[in-house]
Amino acid sequence: MARQLHLIVVGKLKDSHLEAIENDYLKRINNPELIIHEVKASAENKDAEGEAILKKIRDVSQSGGSHLIALTEWGKRSTSVAFAEWTKSLIERPAKIFFIIAGAEGFSDELLRNCQERISLSELTFPHKLARILLVEQLYRAQTIRSGHPYHN
């Protein structure tokens, strides 16, 4: 069973207001814990970013199984309730779970080939900083839905 979820993002969250929002949700997420890994952006080189992301996954997985999920506007869409059920099934897997938000140039072909799933937060395209916050909020919302907390209402 996954005790942690991992979010790998390209670049840093430099806006103190967004950091405060993210930190507020991160304090609340505990079933399972969410760990955010930032990898360095590579000047318009998605292949280098893809390799950095895959290296980070290898380092964190340490030869254990991993399940990679790319966040892309072309991925599977769902409601918050369906997302909560889906994340419940992810948590029950023995593999380490990685959500991935690529850099401004998108996903490298190699990285996408390594992803088992693709999900979408919306048909809209968001700045990476906002996509990051939206995913963190939806992971918190999923936790509250699973536990019967009234946050989602």
pTM greater than the 0.75 cutoff: yes
Identify whether the C-beta of residue 61 lies closer than 8 Å to the C-beta of residue 94: no
pLDDT of residue 114: 96
**How confident is residue 2, by pLDDT bands cut at 50, 70 and 90?**
low
**How confident is residue 123, by pLDDT bands cut at 50, 70 and 90?**
confident
pLDDT at 120 over 70: yes
Domain ranges of the chain: 4-152
For residues 114-134, average pLDDT: 93
Fold of the domain spanning 4-152: Alpha/beta knot (3.40.1280)
Average pLDDT of the chain to the nearest whole number: 93
pLDDT of residue 30: 92
Please write down the HEC assignment for all residues of the chain: CCCEEEEEEECCCCCHHHHHHHHHHHHHCCCCEEEEEEECCCCCCHHHHHHHHHHHHHHHHCCCCEEEEEEEEEEECCCHHHHHHHHHHHHCCCCEEEEEECECCECCHHHHHHCCEEECCCCCCCCHHHHHHHHHHHHHHHHHHHHCCHHHC
pLDDT at 100 over 70: yes
